[in-house]
């Protein structure tokens, strides 16, 4: 593979002792498994190389996210999943245990937050937490805006503007968060990639130094910047959000770039 701007080609790679792996656009697009993804995980399993699926998707619980992979033919364990919903719950449990929260998001996000001892409310919340909500409407956005303008702290599970499905790209949480930012002039605390909050938790789960870990993903603004900002090497796969041409034009480029995970040797 020929890559401009000094990006290493396939075959030029270090051997990493652990992996952080994105889901949407890297393992699958919507309900369609990406070619080479199952084989990549099988090779990691065969070599007993540990990995954590690090996803900004906050619509599913850990078990639900794992079940999707299992149903697609991936040989994985639920504990390998770490979602932005889990990171949000951990962050709030540590910084504001027992806090009241108004949630825009899926029932699974609410379940994850409640399981951490947080109290979900519809009025006068300490925090407004926003994740991707398939049933978003004006009423929910209005209620959140009023709370934020009255002093509730604004939390966004992730900043993804869009994500790939089997039919094409659709709006992500970041696109909807921007509505509240416009209405309140308040920027949220972002928990998911590319912020360090979720990265540090995932690296700790691997129990490896950062220089022995590789971050794998398709979205430059989340996956790749997570590694660049956090001191972890990165592998961009051209199967999702950010195209090869866009990556090649970046000032700060990933450590590696490939078209398909079949090109990557784990040993």
Dist. CA 169–CA 159, nearest whole Å: 15
Contacting residues for 189 by C-beta, under 8 A, at least 6 apart: 153, 154, 155, 156
Q: In degrees, to the nearest 5, what angle opens at C-alpha 146 toward C-alphas 145 and 148?
A: 65
Catalytic (active site) residue 135: no
Is 24 among the catalytic positions?
yes
Q: How far apart are CA 231 and CA 241, in angstroms?
A: 22
CA distances in angstroms from 259 to 6, 128, 150, 242, listed in the order given? 16, 39, 48, 11
Neighbours of 31 (CB within 10 A): 11
Instruction: Determine contact, residues 162/46, Cβ cutoff 8 Å.
Output: no
Query: Which of the following is catalytic: 24, 126, 223, 233?
Result: 24
Task: Spot the catalytic one: 22, 126, 133, 218.
Answer: 22
- CA gap 147, 102 in Å, rounded: 9
Active site residues: 22, 24
């Amino acid at each position: 593979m020929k890559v401009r701007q000094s990006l290493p080609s396939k075959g030029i790679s270090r051997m990493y002792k652990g992996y952080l792996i994105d889901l949407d656009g890297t393992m699958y697009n919507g309900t369609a498994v990406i070619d080479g993804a199952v084989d990549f995980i099988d090779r990691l399993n065969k070599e007993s190389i540990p990995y954590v699926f690090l996803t900004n998707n906050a619509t599913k619980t850990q078990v639900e996210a794992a079940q999707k992979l299992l149903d697609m033919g991936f040989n994985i364990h639920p504990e390998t999943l770490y979602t932005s919903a889990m990171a949000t719950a951990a962050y709030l449990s540590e910084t504001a245990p027992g806090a009241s929260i108004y949630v825009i998001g899926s029932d699974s996000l609410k379940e994850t937050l409640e399981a951490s001892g947080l109290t979900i409310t519809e009025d006068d919340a300490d925090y407004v937490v926003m994740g991707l909500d398939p049933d978003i409407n004006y009423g929910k956005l209005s209620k959140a805006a009023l709370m934020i303008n009255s002093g509730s702290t604004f939390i966004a599970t992730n900043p993804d503007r869009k994500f790939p499905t089997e039919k094409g790209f659709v709006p992500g949480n970041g696109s909807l968060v921007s509505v509240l930012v416009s209405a309140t002039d308040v920027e949220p605390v972002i928990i998911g990639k590319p912020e360090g909050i979720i990265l540090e938790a995932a690296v700790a789960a691997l129990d490896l130094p950062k220089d022995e870990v590789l971050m794998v993903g398709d979205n430059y603004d989340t996956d790749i910047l997570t590694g660049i900002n956090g001191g972890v090497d990165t592998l961009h796969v051209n199967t999702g959000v950010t195209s090869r041409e866009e990556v090649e034009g970046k000032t700060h480029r990933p450590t590696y770039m490939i078209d398909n995970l079949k090109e990557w040797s784990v040993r």
